[in-house]
Amino acid sequence: MGLRLLDFESLENVLRVVQCTVVSAVGNHFFDAYVLSESSLFVYPTKIIIKTCGTTQLLKSIRPLIHLAKNLGLTICGCRYTRGTFIFPKSQPFPHINFKQEVIYIEENLPNNLCFRKASVMPSKNPSYSWHVFSSASDSGAHFSDGEFTVEVCMTELDRVLARKFFKTAGDSAAKEMTELTGIGNINPRALICDFVFDPCGYSMNGVDGDRYSTIHVTPEDGFSYASFEYVGSVYDDQDDIVETLKKAVQVFKPATVSVSTTSHRREVWTRVAHAMEPLGLKCRSFAMDEFPTAGTVVFQTFTAARRK
């Protein structure tokens, strides 16, 4: 069970430091998935993934999580932090003032055994869409599964008509109805979905499919509409699945701008991203690639609607 043995109160205490709370949860034989007031938390036996947004203080979870793991007899062997460019950078509290400060804070809170470390800002032609990555590993060379990949998608300037579907309506089944009405439920029909609607607007979901997670978070307000989609897959799956999953997710929102980060040890993943975007009228505007400890190859691509520059 590993980290899944952590009691709910301990997790709540960590999230309180980060400044968010659990609003919904689901689990299966492989992991537990929590929808948070500010994104998502996934707890596996040997890894924890936290996604937050807004003005939360995500990095403050590092020290207490390491402490909790140590009490279970576990030693940290890898840590990775990724984010896009803050939409409201001046509103961010310490330690998220800038990426340099974030890296300093991470390194101050990681144990010395994580001696292989790298931080990088992956650029695009538009400085508003850079990708920030910090990755570290122990000298034992901890690696994620060679066949596993992670895709992180950020979408801005959502289609106004589609964005309106993410405003709350009356009824106890509002979240379920929103999941079906928007087409989110069709992105991966196999997944068990845990969804939540915020008042007056906004939406979050976690998808649980075997040992793989997916998650979507939506801020639909006109002027700064935004949606994120993240999922884990395997290079041993049908390669067309990568294309179809991305296409379905992006079609839910029809954004003007899309940035996609893929993390994998295989090139098959990032080469499929363009195949998914191009039929939707999205043109690749920038491409960046870098290597990181434990993570493998990170590729960051940005796309904009063909009618826009």
- DSSP string covering 50-76, please? EEE-TT--GGGGHHHHHHHHHHTT---
Catalytic position from the list 20, 120, 217, 225 = 217
Catalytic position from the list 20, 40, 53, 96 = 53
Examine the residue annotation and report whether 143 is marked as an active-site residue of this protein.
Answer: no
> Residue 111, class by beta-carbon neighbours within 10 Å (0-12 exposed, 13-18 middle, 19+ buried)?
middle
Write 7-14 long-range contacts (CB < 8 A, 24+): 10/68, 11/41, 11/43, 13/64, 14/61, 14/64, 14/65, 14/68
Examine the residue annotation and report whether 204 is marked as an active-site residue of this protein.
Answer: yes
Distance of alpha carbon 231 from its chain centroid, rounded? 8
> Residue 19, class by beta-carbon neighbours within 10 Å (0-12 exposed, 13-18 middle, 19+ buried)?
middle
Buried b (16+ CB within 10 A) or exposed e, 183-221: ebbebbeebebbbbbbeebbbbbbbbbeebbbbbbbbbe
- DSSP SS3 for 202: coil
Examine the residue annotation and report whether 10 is marked as an active-site residue of this protein.
Answer: no
Catalytic position from the list 204, 214, 228, 259 = 204
Examine the residue annotation and report whether 228 is marked as an active-site residue of this protein.
Answer: no
Catalytic amino acids?
A: 39, 53, 204, 217
